[in-house]
């Protein structure tokens, strides 16, 4: 491998989570958003570190839960670049799980994989367990070489070209994690691209990121169904410039036949008839209809006018995550598995403050996820800015206060891991309005 490494090897030592790697230039971990595709060396975007931390935690949960079987777990980091994601799985999972991992990294870029393997040689997993190999080539070929329990697709842009083959390659029960960075398409601001690629429309409002996650999950469900498979969503997150959905996929013709039951529409400012249908379909809690909610979900069978600007979809109307998986993403677990302790004379030249900043990034990556797990199937995702405008009150209610009050009324409620201040709840719309107005009556 080493002879393939480009001239700028050894570059510098960088740390992400508890894992060391070599990169051509130290990345600026304080920035978010996309980074340019480099003019040499190896690609590593620090803005995706949160997604990689969650990937470590999710793999740990999936192995613990038994959904990947009890034997060797074949995992593929299909668009691996520096290989940091796969190397974090191996290094940060405990020894008893890492020893079951047979991990492959693949990429079209031979040079990237050389950096990855050489970094792996220099900084092997601390417990010395698990195996890593690399495979240069097009993911669409590499992925079909044999079955996998875990496939990660993290492309520049849309993951769609890789979905079909990756789903086909999954074991009877496996997990797929899919990122997308074609955000203009996914949030509906590039309408043509959204319709062409994903076959959906998304209303460009505060919930556009949530709708985009649902559109991606819907595409995953449809593609899986074509291969007699059904999805069971584990986690869906929008983070800075990208989204990521993770789902268990099981081989089941019966499950695949039911795929359309998970699909539908989101309607902004719904009519009475639309809200009634949503309630009857189990997609919305009962309400008095004295005041209508800001949005509701509708089943695919509901006759919507697809050109109606209130409508987003088709999209996934089922749960965007799994309670168990999300409950497992605690700050304590993230600290235990993914945070390194400061040591004098650190090999990456990090100061105490650098360690502290990395710890904060790790903790931020799981913020609210554990508690959101309790309401991940709930109908309401409420942005407090939208709520105050909708109700005509001066300033948005505190989401924390809303959650506390709704819980006191016996509902499930939690802050959401979302880019805008928001909460999720299974409360009736009447009580959401009452609690909100109780804190600030209309102007």
What is the smallest separation between the CB atom of 134 and ligand SAM, expressed in angstroms? Answer: 12
What is the smallest separation between the CB atom of 180 and ligand SAM, expressed in angstroms? Answer: 10
Q: How many CB atoms lie within 10 A of CB 318?
A: 18
What is the smallest separation between the CB atom of 103 and ligand SAM, expressed in angstroms? Answer: 13
Closest residue by beta carbon to ligand SAM:
79
What is the smallest separation between the CB atom of 49 and ligand SAM, expressed in angstroms? Answer: 9
Residue 1's closest CA among 153, 134, 185, 197? 134
Q: Report the residue number, 109 or 431, with the smaller CB distance to ligand SAM.
A: 109
Q: Report the residue number, 4 or 138, with the smaller CB distance to ligand SAM.
A: 138
What is the smallest separation between the CB atom of 14 and ligand SAM, expressed in angstroms? Answer: 12
What is the smallest separation between the CB atom of 137 and ligand SAM, expressed in angstroms? Answer: 7
What is the smallest separation between the CB atom of 143 and ligand SAM, expressed in angstroms? Answer: 9
Using alpha carbons, list the distances in angstroms from residue 108 to 72, 79, 134: 26, 8, 11
CA distance 412 to 379: 11
Q: Provide the 3-class DSSP secondary structure of residue 118.
A: helix
What is the smallest separation between the CB atom of 309 and ligand SAM, expressed in angstroms? Answer: 33
Which residues lie below 8 Å from residue 419, measured CB to CB, with a gap of 6+?
Answer: 209, 238
Using alpha carbons, list the distances in angstroms from residue 438 to 148, 342, 402, 415: 53, 48, 10, 19
What is the smallest separation between the CB atom of 37 and ligand SAM, expressed in angstroms? Answer: 8
Buried b (16+ CB within 10 A) or exposed e, 9-31: bebebbbbbbbbbbbbeebebee
Give bridge partners of residue 248 from the DSSP assignment: 175, 232
Instruction: Report yes or no: 90 and 130 within 8 Å, Cβ to Cβ.
Output: yes
Long-range contacts of 337-342 (CB under 8 A, 24+ apart): 337/17, 337/18, 337/56, 337/57, 337/60, 337/92, 337/93, 337/94, 338/17, 338/18, 338/53, 338/56, 338/57, 338/88, 338/92, 338/362, 339/17, 339/18, 340/15, 340/17, 340/18
Residue 181's closest CA among 221, 228, 238, 101? 238
Q: Report the residue number, 19 or 106, with the smaller CB distance to ligand SAM.
A: 106
Q: Report the residue number, 241 or 251, with the smaller CB distance to ligand SAM.
A: 241
Q: Report the residue number, 88 or 268, with the smaller CB distance to ligand SAM.
A: 88
Angle at 42 between CA 39 and CA 43, to 5 degrees: 85
CA distance 134 to 137: 10
Give bridge partners of residue 21 from the DSSP assignment: 14
Tell me whether residue 111 is exposed, middle or buried, using C-beta atoms within 10 angstroms of its C-beta: 0 to 12, 13 to 18, 19 or more. Answer: middle
Q: Report the residue number, 95 or 144, with the smaller CB distance to ligand SAM.
A: 144
Q: Report the residue number, 179 or 388, with the smaller CB distance to ligand SAM.
A: 179
Q: Report the residue number, 69 or 137, with the smaller CB distance to ligand SAM.
A: 137
Is the bond preceding residue 10 a cis peptide, omega within 30 degrees? Answer: yes
Q: Report the residue number, 50 or 130, with the smaller CB distance to ligand SAM.
A: 50
What is the smallest separation between the CB atom of 384 and ligand SAM, expressed in angstroms? Answer: 33
Which residues of this chain interact with ligand SAM, rule CB under 6 A?
43-44, 48, 52, 79-82, 84-85, 106-109, 112, 138-139, 154-156
Pairing of strands 229-239, 170-180: unpaired
Find the helix or strand (DSSP H, E) in which 366 lies: none
Pairing of strands 422-425, 413-415: antiparallel
Q: Report the residue number, 235 or 375, with the smaller CB distance to ligand SAM.
A: 235
What is the smallest separation between the CB atom of 306 and ligand SAM, expressed in angstroms? Answer: 32
Q: Report the residue number, 35 or 393, with the smaller CB distance to ligand SAM.
A: 35
Start-to-end CA span in the chain (Å): 69
């Amino acid at each position: 491998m080493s002879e393939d490494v480009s001239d700028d090897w050894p570059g510098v030592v960088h740390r992400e989570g508890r894992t060391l790697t070599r990169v051509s230039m130290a990345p600026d971990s304080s920035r978010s958003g996309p980074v340019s595709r480099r003019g040499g060396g190896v690609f590593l975007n620090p803005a995706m570190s949160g997604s990689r931390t969650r990937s470590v935690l999710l793999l740990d949960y999936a192995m613990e839960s038994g959904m990947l079987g009890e034997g060797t777990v074949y995992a593929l980091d299909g668009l691996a670049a520096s290989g940091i994601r796969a190397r974090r799985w191996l290094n940060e999972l405990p020894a008893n799980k890492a020893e079951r991992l047979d991990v492959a990294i693949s990429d079209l870029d031979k040079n990237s994989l050389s950096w990855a393997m050489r970094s792996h040689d220099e900084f092997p997993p601390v417990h010395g367990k698990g195996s890593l190999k690399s495979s240069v080539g097009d993911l669409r070929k590499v992925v079909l070489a044999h079955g996998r329990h875990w496939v990660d697709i993290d492309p520049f842009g849309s993951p769609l070209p890789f979905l079909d083959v990756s789903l086909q390659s999954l074991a009877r029960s496996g997990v797929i994690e899919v990122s997308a960075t074609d955000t203009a398409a996914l949030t509906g601001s590039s309408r043509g691209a959204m319709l062409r690629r994903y076959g959906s429309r998304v209303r460009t409002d505060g919930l556009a990121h949530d709708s985009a996650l649902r559109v991606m999950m819907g595409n995953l469900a449809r593609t899986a169904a074509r291969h007699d498979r059904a999805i069971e969503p584990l986690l869906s997150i929008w983070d800075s410039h990208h989204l990521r959905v993770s789902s268990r996929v099981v081989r089941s013709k019966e499950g695949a036949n039911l795929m359309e039951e998970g699909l539908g529409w989101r309607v902004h400012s719904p009519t009475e008839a639309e809200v009634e249908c949503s309630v009857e379909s189990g997609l919305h809690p009962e309400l008095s209809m004295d005041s209508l909610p800001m949005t509701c979900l509708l089943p695919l069978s509901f006759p919507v006018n697809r050109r109606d600007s209130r409508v987003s979809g088709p999209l996934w109307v089922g749960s965007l995550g799994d309670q168990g998986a999300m409950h497992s993403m605690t700050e304590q677990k993230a600290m235990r598995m993914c945070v390194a302790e400061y040591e004098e004379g650190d090999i990456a030249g990090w100061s105490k403050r650098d360690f502290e900043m990395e710890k904060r990034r790790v903790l931020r990556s799981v913020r609210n996820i554990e508690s959101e797990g309790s309401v991940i199937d709930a109908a309401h995702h409420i942005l407090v800015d939208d709520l105050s405008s909708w109700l005509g009150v001066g300033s948005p209610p505190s989401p924390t206060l809303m959650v506390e009050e709704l819980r006191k009324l016996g509902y499930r409620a939690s802050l959401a891991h979302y880019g805008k201040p928001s909460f999720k709840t299974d409360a009736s719309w009447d009580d959401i309005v009452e609690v909100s107005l109780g804190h600030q009556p209309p102007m």
